[in-house]
């Protein structure tokens, strides 16, 4: 006895396939250009660290040999070259012999970055350069321009919508493509018979997409963490479920005895068990000139186990806040430990060690650094370069497929909403709930989806 297939089930299944096919097409057609630009600019950014080192070699390096001068003297040398009164916000000591020290100031006139660094020869105190710098990586003008081109097309805050739009839809496109590949491209023969001559191009499109699938989802999710609207929602979600990256506590008022609470390791060197009030009174005057405190703070941090070559010292502008000394080497192995130092007593009051980060916080750190191409150095750069160029190729191939198969005059294709109307009640409900949830959590996606539907309504009405 044979069992007859359920026609309703087949119809709704076919409708779901057509719906995903149509949505995948819409994403490729309308969002593809944004993804292409993001992939291309991101690839260019990833391959340029070595070029930047060559362009700014005279600024970043020095031929001087000998003992480095105290940081206080290096800072004084940098300040003597300023033509305006700028606020010192961080110092990055020379990582190795032959490197320069970065003395960094807030500067509204520094385009894009809002900060600039004076590069000081730590041996001779010669000023090797004066350039805008940006981010934890401390990138210089050339790569800063590429970074902002990737992030916002140099259009300011409004330009951030482009990258958020690309990141919001990229993972949807990847999942949709995976689903279509799984179904083997089996579509209604009567409707898609004219496409059989293009199976080779479609197969190549699928093959590239499959190879890039994990990367597509990865760069989409990590990219969203930097976005304006979705990124804010992700931060809120992380806070609500405790996926927050640990950081040092710089508040000194809550630590009368200068114990670091849960952030302080009892067995770590330089743990303060008492608070010498007389010493604090004696050093209070030093806050009038914080420059002389940098060397002491650096020594306290080194004694506390901050041993990376690349680190940053950020002074506090008030006496009730501790200074922060952070490792900034995000390559492998990751060195991003940080400590808070009470500059009045030169004691460590709080610390955050990467080794003690929760697994999720470590994965987030590694994910972001891998997205930027810094986690595994040159290997990371090569992988991202191949990924970015392959993604650009896949998008170009997709447009070529569309151009060859584009609807001719007088021909029609089913609109997205018409296909959705063929779904079962359960499928309609689920897709509607998912669409609303994604639209709320990723507002740029939600707005663009409404645009899709508006275009679809017009097509349906006038086809």
How far from chain centre, in Å, is Cα 73? 36
CB neighbour burial string for 114-128, b if at least 16 within 10 angstroms, e if fewer: ebbbbbbbbbebebb
Summarize pLDDT for 12-64 with one digit per residue, the tens: 778 899 999 999 999 999 999 999 999 999 999 999 999 999 999 999 999 99
Which DSSP state fits 94? -
Tell me how far apart the alpha carbons of residues 145 and 133 are, in angstroms, rounded to a whole number: 11
Q: Average pLDDT, stretch 322-334? A: 96
pLDDT for residue 412: 58
Q: 318 vs 355, which has greater pLDDT?
A: 355
Tell me how far apart the alpha carbons of residues 21 and 186 are, in angstroms, rounded to a whole number: 11
Most confident among 272-276, 384-388, 458-462 (mean pLDDT): 384-388
Q: Given the structure tokens 């993972």, which residue do they identify? A: 171
**What average pLDDT is seen over the chain?**
87
pLDDT for residue 6: 54
pLDDT for residue 13: 75
Which DSSP state fits 67? P
pLDDT for residue 312: 98
pLDDT for residue 20: 93
pLDDT for residue 272: 36
**pLDDT of 191 over the 50 cut:** no
**Cβ-based neighbour number of residue 242 at 10 Å:** 9
Calculate helix-pair angle for 7-26, 160-182, nearest 10 degrees.
140
Q: What are phi and psi of 183, to 5 degrees?
A: -75, -5
pLDDT for residue 415: 80
Closest CA to 294 of 309, 274, 312, 270: 312
pTM, to two decimals: 0.85
**pLDDT of 133 over the 90 cut:** yes
Which DSSP helix (H) or strand (E) runs through 392? Answer: helix 378-405
- Strands 127-132, 115-120: pairing kind: antiparallel
pLDDT for residue 196: 52
Q: Average pLDDT, stretch 314-318? A: 92
Q: Average pLDDT, stretch 243-263? A: 70
Return the bridge partners of 120, or none. Answer: 101, 127
Determine what percent of the chain is predicted with pLDDT higher than 70: 85
Which DSSP helix (H) or strand (E) runs through 184? Answer: none
**pLDDT of 288 over the 80 cut:** no
* C-alpha pair distances (Å), 301 with each of 249, 323, 349, 351: 15, 10, 11, 10
Q: 373 vs 11, which has greater pLDDT?
A: 373
Least confident of 279-288, 326-335, 444-453: 279-288
Which DSSP state fits 241? T
**pLDDT of 1 over the 90 cut:** no
**Cβ-based neighbour number of residue 53 at 10 Å:** 12
pLDDT for residue 238: 93
pLDDT for residue 259: 39
Q: How does DSSP assign 312-350, residue by residue?
A: EEE--SSTTB-EEEEE-B-SSS-B--EEEEETTTTEEEE
pLDDT for residue 265: 34
> Starting from the edge strand earliest in sequence, which strands make up the sheet with 127-132, in order?
127-132, 115-120, 101-106, 87-92, 311-314, 323-327, 338-342, 347-352
pLDDT for residue 255: 55
**pLDDT of 197 over the 90 cut:** no
């Amino acid at each position: 006895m044979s069992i007859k297939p359920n026609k309703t089930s087949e119809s709704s299944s076919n409708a779901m396939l057509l719906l995903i096919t149509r949505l995948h097409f819409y994403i490729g057609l309308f969002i593809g250009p944004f993804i292409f630009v993001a992939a291309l600019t991101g690839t260019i950014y990833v391959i340029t660290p070595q070029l930047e080192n060559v362009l700014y070699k005279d600024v970043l390096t020095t031929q001087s040999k000998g003992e480095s001068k105290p940081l206080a003297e290096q800072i004084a040398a940098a300040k003597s070259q300023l033509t305006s009164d700028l606020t010192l916000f961080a110092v990055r000591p020379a990582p190795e012999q032959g490197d320069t020290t970065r003395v960094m100031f807030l500067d509204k006139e520094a385009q894009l970055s809002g900060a600039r660094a004076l590069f000081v020869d730590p041996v001779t105190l010669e000023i090797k350069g004066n350039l805008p710098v940006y981010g934890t990586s401390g990138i210089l003008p050339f790569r800063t321009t590429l970074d902002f081109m990737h992030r916002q097309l140099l259009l300011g805050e409004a330009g951030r919508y482009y990258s958020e739009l690309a990141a919001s839809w990229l993972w949807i496109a990847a999942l949709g493509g995976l689903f279509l590949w799984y179904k083997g491209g089996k579509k209604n023969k009567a409707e898609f018979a004219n496409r059989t001559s293009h199976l080779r191009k479609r197969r190549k499109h699928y093959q590239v997409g499959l190879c890039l699938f994990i990367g597509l989802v990865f760069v989409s999710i990590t990219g969203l963490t930097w976005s304006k609207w979705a990124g804010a929602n992700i931060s809120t979600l992380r806070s609500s479920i405790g996926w927050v990256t640990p950081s040092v506590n710089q508040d000194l008022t809550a630590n009368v005895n200068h114990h670091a609470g849960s952030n302080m390791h009892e067995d770590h060197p330089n743990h303060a068990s008492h608070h010498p009030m007389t010493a604090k009174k004696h050093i209070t005057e030093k806050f009038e000139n914080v420059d002389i405190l940098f060397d002491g703070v650096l020594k306290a941090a080194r004694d506390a186990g901050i041993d990376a070559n690349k680190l940053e010292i950020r002074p506090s502008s008030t006496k009730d806040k501790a200074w922060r000394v952070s490792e900034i080497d995000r390559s492998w192995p990751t060195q991003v430990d940080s400590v808070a130092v009470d500059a009045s007593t030169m004691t460590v009051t709080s610390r955050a060690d990467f080794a003690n980060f929760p697994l999720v916080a470590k994965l987030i750190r590694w994910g972001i650094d891998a997205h930027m191409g810094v986690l595994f150095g040159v290997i990371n750069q090569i992988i991202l370069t191949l990924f970015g160029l392959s993604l650009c190729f896949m998008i170009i191939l997709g447009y070529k497929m569309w151009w060859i198969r584009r609807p001719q005059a007088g021909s029609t294709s089913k609109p997205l909403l018409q296909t959705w109307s063929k779904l079962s009640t359960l499928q309609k409900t689920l897709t509607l709930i998912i669409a609303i949830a994604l639209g709320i959590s990723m507002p740029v996606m939600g707005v663009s989806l409404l645009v899709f539907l508006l275009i679809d309504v017009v097509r349906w009405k006038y086809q």
